[in-house]
Amino acid sequence: MDAAPPATGPTERGPGTGWLALLCVLAGLAGTFRVFDFDAFWHTRTGRWIWEHRAVPLRDPFAHTSDGPLRYTEALAQLVFHLFDRVFGGFGLSLLGGALAGAFAAAVLLATARPERLRWESRAVAVACVFLASSFRFGPKTELISFSLWAVLTHLVSRHEEAAETSAPGVRDHARFLVAVAALSFLWGNCHRAGGLVPFGLGAVAVAWALRAATRPLAPVAVGALLVSVFALTLNSGGAYYFLSTFAVTTRATFAANFAQQRPVSWEFLVDVDPWVFPLVALFLLGALVRRRLDASLALAVTSLSLPFVSLRFIPFAAVGMAPFAARAVDALIDRGAAATRLRLPSIARGVVVLSAAALPMAAQQVARHAPSIVGLGVVRWRVPVGAADFLRQHPPVGRMWNSYDFGGYLMYALAPGQKVFVDGRYDTPYSQAFVEESILAQTDDSVLARQFERFGVTYAVIACSRLEETRYPWLLSSPEWGLVYFDDVAAVVVKRTKENAPLLAAHEYRAVSPRDAIRRASSLAGLTGEQRALFEQEVERAVRDAPDSIRAHVLRALVLRARGELEAAKREAETARALGRSRRVSVDLRL
């Protein structure tokens, strides 16, 4: 039985357009920070290629290991990434992340606009709850477009359902709904691969509409919209592959084992990383009780609530699905509270209070989640191999690159196609599943790494080097066949001793300092001969010049200064290392 519409409480209902617009702006600001997501960079580089060539690449111009046809399906989003990067330069991707966060907030507001006329305050609180539960996936990511479009789909079906309950929609109304679904699906199909959720959601809506007498005539319309969406989603450069690949990544055991974001949601994750899901679920349940009926929004909510059990990165879909119910629950709570207290605030004071209550937690959560050096605009240099890419741009080795899996996206952005990458985060777009799995394994198994080097003729490598005493890649960092030419707190560059690369090694090789054992050697300089010690100290100074924001380099310099007896200078250097650590929330335990 349908519940009666909620009674009007002591506070007036209204759109509050200005306050809600300001909330979206504040949400965008809260979602703006320095970029460390590697996928953003390969999206941007692909968008640049599409812009320059006025076409989608059919063969991979960025990796020397990919020889098959490309099946891009996100070309429109990649163009947007490139345009932000082109217009705003080094700040572009940070600003894009903020724009996507603001658009997400606006889309969630749209999802809460139907079917009741709720207070704007209720909708604002619901948006804040959804934002807080979803923000662990924020940044310049194409998936934010999917989260936003899911909210738009919720609005479209709720609006059409409301029309059927208040009047008899005609053929023209149904046609407008189908056109809107087609447009949304076409946009989604060219921005992110999660658009395959549209037909699933519309299927659930068709069932919900068929089960209620008031909406039963709409069920065939929902089925028609489902078919329209399937067709529209294939109108992209990847065609039917768009559907075939939608859940391919999330169902592969290798990806789930290596990437936490691909694993199903767990209780531990919710408690440790995303506790805001719990109050949102409570509001959802309360909102469902306030309006007890099976409608389109409930069908979409139930569909979206199943998604995190496939992959935790889908939690924002569930949060969006719960948004209309959360707003409804907050509205009911305001009714009860206002009736009990008879408290009325001036509209401006009420707006300031509500906006502060909604926006401050969003900003506080982002500040708490990110290290201080991530707050701001630009790239997080201590998580992205900017220094290694700069070195390779200035001193390109001869031959073919190998790179750690995560680094491929930025190296592709910074160097390709002049220096083609080995592998990157595009998954199955250019690479086979077996190759990606082998490349991930090569990061921890030197025998697999050596086989890849031999098979692909690798002559230089960009490897992960983030530990103070690096224990990974022992073969590369100790083999006499390879020379270290650059390292910082993110990456190291090693070059094979070939005739073509002899000049590069002669000019830039580190012969005494290595991230593998430099800390131990610096702690016992007395055991080195005069010539060895002089070379070690010279290379430590060079390491500081090469990477002035490297914690390791400053720790090495502090140890060298201590060995010289320059204790005050050593303490200053140690404090520099600790300050860098604090900016990254990394502990630097250095006793002099």
Give exposure, 282-298, as e/b (b: 16+ Cβ within 10 Å).
Answer: ebbebbbebbeeebbbb
pLDDT tens-digit map of 253-303: 656 666 777 789 999 999 999 999 999 999 999 999 988 888 999 999 999
Angstrom distance (rounded) from CA 99 to CA 38: 18
Evaluate if residue 592 carries a pLDDT over 70. no
Evaluate if residue 525 carries a pLDDT over 90. no
Domain residues of the chain, as ranges? 17-374, 386-584
SS3 for 483?
Answer: strand
Span of 150-164, 233-247, 302-316 with lowest mean pLDDT: 233-247
The two tokens of residue 189 are 């199909």
Evaluate if residue 341 carries a pLDDT over 80. no
User: What is 189-215 written as a DSSP string?
Assistant: HTT-GGGGHHHHHHHHHHHHHHHSTTT
What per-residue confidence (pLDDT) applies to 249?
55
Q: Can you tell me the mean pLDDT for 121-137? A: 96
Q: Can you tell me the mean pLDDT for 463-480? A: 94
Question: Contact at 8 Å (CB) between 462 and 491?
Answer: yes
Most confident of 193-202, 352-361, 366-375, 390-399: 390-399
Percent of the chain with pLDDT over 70: 93
| Count of helices and strands (H, E) across the chain | 26, 4
The two tokens of residue 296 are 């389109």
Evaluate if residue 434 carries a pLDDT over 60. yes
Q: Can you tell me the mean pLDDT for 500-524? A: 95
